[in-house]
Chains A and B, each alone.
Chain A
Amino acid sequence: MILAIVCAALITAASLFYIFYLPGELYLGPEKTRASYLRERKDVVYENLRDLNFEYRAGKVPDADYQSLKANLQDEAAGLLAEIARLESGAIPAPRKARS
């Protein structure tokens, strides 16, 4: 029983040390902005374009469908790029650092 109590005390002490001893800086990651959201959307639209091209080359999509779908996706991509260009004056925000 004494051994079990000693074990329990040691486990508690080690846990508290791990939880509350925080040396150095903390990683907070980049701030999520409208521009970063638009970049994510742009990647998705490009991926959709890539899929469409592939399906066209595989013979799944007729020519007329392909041209119309491609034009739609390109319009969407152009809109996103235009908005990103408007929002972006400088570089992507650097990761934030917290004070230790």
Chain B
Amino acid sequence: MAFLGNFALLLAFALSVYCFGAGLLALLSPDEPSSQRLSETARRAGIVVFGAVFLAAVALVVSAFRDDFTIAYIFHHSNRDLPTPYKFATLWSGQEGSILFWCLLLSAYAFVLRLRYKTDPRLFAYASVVVAGVQIFFLALVNFAANPFGLLEGPLRPDGSGLNPLLQYPEMVIHPPMLYLGYVGFTVPFAFALGALIMKYPGEKWIHITRRWTMVTWGFLTCGIFLGSHWAYSVLGWGGYWGWDPVENASLMPWLVGTAFLHSVMMQEKRGMLKVWNMWLVFACFWLAILGTFLTRSGIISSVHAFAQSSIGSWFAWFLGITFAVFIFFFVLNHKHLRSENKLEGMISRESSFLFNNLLFLLLTLDVLWGTWFPKISELVQGNKVTVGAPFYNRVAIPVALILLLLTALGPLLAWRKTSFESLKRNFTWPCVAALIVGLFVMLTPTSWGSIFGLKPWHDVSYFYSLMTIVLSVLVAFTVGSEFYRGGRVIAEKTGQGMFASMVQLTHRNTRRYGGYIVHFGVVLVMIGFSGSALNQDKEAELGYGDHMQIGSYDLVCRSYTQDDNANQETEWALMDVYQNGQLVRTMTPQRIFYKASQQASTKPDIDQGFKEDLYLVYEGQNDKGQPVIKAHLNPMVIWIWIGAWVMIIGTGLALVENAPVPVTVRVPRMMEHAAPVAGD
């Protein structure tokens, strides 16, 4: 298998070099009679790269299933008794394998791109060459610096060291692929953008193509980030879902820039504006995705996720430098081609709201970037590492997120070009009233209701932020709802259908817009989930048999401790009876697991999820006195984060569906009566 894997990787590398070289040659000499055929061979070579990388990945997975410990990577990341799904996860659980996995996903994206070349052969030829350039880098890395098929030195071992215990969790089989699909996917929009810049592509069609790819990528990244948060919440046992860890930040930065791009791209499509800005946003998405990979691989910044320090960090540093230089070169050369076709006509308009939204996303990205790199910068300047925590990020992120939420409510109500105050008043009054009523209700309800009820914003600034989040979320929900209602009403009047059927038809007519609104609604739910964090409670206690512990309205009683043993792990768990108002409501079993192959211990919290709050128990093991220690967290509203994430993903999927045809016509301007009619309302 090692031979076959190495052969496949070398073949993929050689073909990528050919794809890049032949493709470039064909683009440089378009008038040569043989250039079209040369370009076609380059495209086909690119297609075969996918097959070769796929073969290498299969070889590695088969090696894991066959417990082939002659391969060093398999020895270090698997063992004989590892459950089957985690043997698949071996592919991305270590440095060499995850780079191979990166190559596989990039090749898969490139494969689809090269198959769809008929959309616009010349633009796709440029994009294919750019992607091939990126493929060369990653395949060189996997062939010459981080080879997953390297053989183990010394005598053959009877068993492997096992998979990292933190990765032995079902979500870990999906989370890395999703995140990688997000990271890797930004290569494609970047390739189209750079291709369009180099060839001075006339028009905005390239951005239409890019937008769809970006939406797919953004959807995967969203999914990956939330799966990662859910994994952190369910496995790491610290009671939270986001720790502002550098690796978490690494995934957040391209997501933020990608979100900004998905909004500003509409200005280019509809109004021919922000061309330079969008070009930079696409480049920033790609560059930040690579920077994130550099962070995790170089060991330059400490993180709970980061792989051990290795020599491949310098490869990434060079690659980041080269891509930046190439982009700058072509930008300086061809930036005049990116001149805006229109100017901002009104300060209150859809354009200005997008512009402001973009600036806020950029500010948020810079905040995260600064905080992530601050330990390294402080080390260079002062000689000692200063790490920044949640308060540093939250100081900027929370107010910015609140303003973004306000813009999410405002944006859909603003017209393109300019909006009058009368229009604003007409659309905004009722949602504002509804949001204020909900805000007052949350504030005036008794605290004894628990969760977010009875929030008194004057007690603490975090309560103020929570209340504002709820009020603005309700405002967004009402504006989104009113968009569906008003649109549905027009269709219902015209077709005589029921309101729900009309709203479905409305969504199908403009999937991008209404799918986007559903994403906004998902964001609202996520934000409501975040708002609960201001009211989190936690307690820790030594609990012997029959001992009690009180948290919120719950009384926790330790019934007993028990153990289990199998070939892969030893498990010890606590049996905790949970009482509420004197009634036994459930029994919870937080666990502590010892993995035999890796000789590492890990906790597995037990979480009782509810719409109001989560009761989260962690069995922390025995303390110095031999007493078992239980930690309890009461986290309000967390479930809404996961529900919101699902809604966001459904909305993204919906936005990718083709629009249904609209069977009506637009009146053609009088002066051009001979023009063809088009579909419209």
Contact = CB atoms under 8 A, between A and B. Distances in A.
Interface of A: 1, 4-5, 7-8, 11-12, 15, 18-20, 22, 26-29, 32-34, 36-37, 40-44, 46-55, 57-62, 64-65, 69, 72, 74-75, 77-78, 81-82, 85, 98-99
Contact of A60 (B18, B272, B413, B418): B413
B415 A69 contact: yes
B417 A72 contact: yes
B45 A19 contact: yes
Nearest to B123: A32
B420 A64 contact: yes
Contacts of A43: 678
A33 B270 CA distance: 20
Given A20-B41, A40-B205, A61 B675 contact: no
Contacts of B420: 62, 64-65
B426 interface: yes
15 contacts: A15-B11, A19-B41, A27-B121, A29-B118, A32-B120, A43-B678, A46-B680, A47-B270, A50-B678, A50-B681, A58-B486, A58-B487, A60-B413, A78-B672, A85-B672
B279 to A, nearest CB: 18
A50 B120 contact: no
B602 interface: no
A22 B40 contact: yes
Interface string B653-680: 0000000001000101101101100111
B612 interface: no
A64 B204 CA distance: 31
B489 interface: yes
Given A62-B426, A65-B419, A98-B37, A49 B121 contact: no
Nearest to B10: A8
Interface string B24-60: 0000000001001100110011011001100100000
Interface string B406-430: 0000000101111110110011000
B3 interface: yes
Contacts of B47: 18
Contacts of A77: 668-669, 672, 675
Contacts of A53: 666, 680-681
Interface residues of B, number: 58
Given A19-B41, A37-B202, A65-B423, A47 B680 contact: yes
B48 A19 contact: yes
Contacts of B422: 62, 64-65
A26 B11 contact: no
A54 B483 CA distance: 11
- Classify the interface of chain A: helix, strand, loop or mixed: helix
Nearest to B4: A4
Contact of B3 (A1, A11, A64, A81): A1
Given A15-B15, A82-B671, 19 more contacts: A15-B51, A19-B45, A33-B202, A40-B204, A40-B205, A41-B203, A42-B675, A43-B678, A54-B487, A55-B415, A57-B490, A60-B413, A60-B415, A60-B427, A60-B486, A62-B420, A64-B420, A81-B672, A85-B672
Nearest to A57: B490
B669 A8 contact: no
B7 interface: yes
B335 interface: no
B122 interface: yes
Contacts of B205: 40
Contacts of B48: 15, 18-19
B36 A61 contact: no
B269 interface: yes
B669 A81 contact: yes
Contacts of A85: 672, 674
Contacts of B666: 46, 49-50, 53
B11 A12 contact: yes
Contact of A11 (B18, B55, B423, B668): B55
Nearest to A59: B486
B416 A48 contact: yes
A68 to B, nearest CB: 8
A100 to B, nearest CB: 8
Contacts of A44: 204, 269-270
**A-B residue pairs, 4 tightest by C-beta:** A50-B680, A58-B486, A37-B203, A81-B672
A61 B418 CA distance: 11
Q: Which of B201, B272, B417, B681 has the most CB of A within 10 A?
A: B681
A7 B332 CA distance: 48
A96 to B, nearest CB: 9
Given A55-B415, A58-B486, A65-B419, A48 B41 contact: no
Contact of A50 (B8, B423, B679): B679
Contacts of A47: 270, 678, 680
Contacts of A64: 420, 422
Nearest to B51: A15
